[in-house]
A and B are shown apart, each in its own frame.
Chain A
């Protein structure tokens, strides 16, 4: 989500005007974020794919009502989060239960193996509380500012900041464990 040649707003405008390529570009640009959040939410690839499809269908159907009062990413994040919650409530999908045993630290031994590193990170993500993970996803997957994330989640900015920080601190402690030591002054 870096180096966007054409802004989301322009693509949304073109898509609303009937340009299918513009909508396709929006999907391609944001599919990873939507899928990534859904995957972390459900812990299951099939559920994440179902959710991603539903998210973009909802976006397509309601794109004409997008009013630019928030960024497209903020709106998309809210749709994604609500689709995941709604799917859970409808019983269509349930987050996979996580065995506490599985949450034991998996230190990253070889940082040159990007696949192993990513797998270890995703594994560690399951140790986060849903609230902390939601805040972290908003900021890192959807590229939202703290202000936008606060708007999307309906919580104060300070809470977003503390949740993101808490999430990172736990992830780092799981992935890069060190011997207990006294903190500096």
Chain B
């Protein structure tokens, strides 16, 4: 038995790993005659006896004070009274779908669409009647999907849309909320961080910013590697400074993954969508496109391609929590390893 093997056995034994007794005995015997390994064994013992850094006095109180100012996000029931038991024993329920009962999925989207259409009809009628409609529209941000209908024809179109679309698709394409100020470059999604000044000599081109052209020509606006090594890019906005854009990322299993989109983001407020290779799932469990893989740190469900690995990327269902990087997205989102 050589020294590296002896030390590996001793290290594993220190972690209470099951080590064959004869191998451990042989390693210990080896230490009797090998100063290097004896020192290693001695060092292991000392390392395990050294206490880890202790949280400073006051930190725990400070944490608890901050927590006390927040409302406890309780389950609907006390865990051992049913909810926890149900989660443990029954097949998994899709939490990313707002804890709703999957049995309600056939009627809930339809109800949502009809209710939304009714609200828009009422709002449009009221605003038109009091003569403020034109002015109000000017105050609305330009969006990819216009939630306010302006005519009877548009209202009729919206009603037709609600009545003919597949339930899940209708829910996803409904004008739920406006997306953040995303831009996309080569299918990768970014958010603006702020202006910066830089020496633009030697910048490396990443690709054209989707839907963006020079102010006085049809030449595309290009994005460049910021050089920060964190996946961020810089874009020279016409008549302005360089703007830094950070990739939209989420952490999973110790790695970072960036939000991608199939459709170039050409209009403010547009939500990213799934790559062409992955059709929108028809079921809450991700099938037939994806299969459930696990949860990320905040309990969001992670789905991987039915015949793929999470290393290539993963999908997240709509209706993620408010602090999620894809919060508000009505679409399934795709996350690929950060380049």
Contacts and interface: CB of A to CB of B under 8 A. Distances in A.
Contacts of B255: 154
A151 B44 CA distance: 25
Contacts of B139: none
Contact of A28 (B17, B60, B70): B60
B163 interface: no
A114 B50 contact: yes
Given A67-B87, A184-B30, A118 B50 contact: yes
Contacts of A145: 15
A59 B318 CA distance: 22
Given A36-B52, A152-B253, A17 B297 contact: no
B60 A164 contact: no
A33 interface: yes
A3 interface: no
A111 B326 CA distance: 51
B209 interface: no
A117 B64 CA distance: 31
A15 B297 CA distance: 18
A69 B70 contact: no
A175 B43 contact: yes
B198 interface: no
A178 B35 CA distance: 8
Interface string B54-80: 111001101110111010111100111
A104 interface: no
A56 B50 CA distance: 25
Interface stretch (B2-10, B148-156, B171-179): B2-10
A51 to B, nearest CB: 11
B118 interface: no
Given A17-B74, A184-B2, A117 B50 contact: yes
Interface in B248-269: 249, 251-256
A153 B253 contact: yes
A169 B40 contact: yes
Interface string B178-197: 00000000000000000000
Given A16-B79, A62-B299, A82-B254, A178 B36 contact: yes
B46 A60 contact: no
A111 B34 CA distance: 22
Contacts of B66: 53, 57
B44 A13 contact: no
B25 interface: no
B79 A168 contact: no
A85 B34 contact: no
A111 B42 CA distance: 12
Contacts of B60: 27-28, 31
B78 A17 contact: yes
A154 B84 contact: no
A52 interface: yes
Contacts of B30: 184
Nearest to B95: A65
Interface in A1-59: 13, 15-18, 20, 23-24, 27-28, 31-36, 39-40, 45, 49, 52-53, 56-58
Nearest to B42: A176
Point out which of A58, A114, A178 has the most chain B C-beta atoms below 10 A from its C-beta: A178
Contact of A60 (B6, B39, B70, B249): B70
Given A57-B66, A62-B321, A82 B56 contact: no
B54 to A, nearest CB: 5
B138 interface: no
A106 interface: no
Given A33-B52, A155-B254, 9 more contacts: A27-B63, A53-B66, A81-B254, A85-B256, A89-B246, A114-B51, A117-B46, A184-B6, A184-B30
For the complex of A and B, the 4 pairs showing the least CB-CB separation, nearest first, are A65-B299, A154-B253, A183-B3, A172-B43
Interface of A: 13, 15-18, 20, 23-24, 27-28, 31-36, 39-40, 45, 49, 52-53, 56-58, 60-69, 75, 78-79, 81-82, 85-86, 89, 108, 111, 114, 117-118, 121-122, 134, 139-141, 145-146, 151-155, 161, 164-165, 168-169, 171-172, 175-176, 178, 181, 183-185
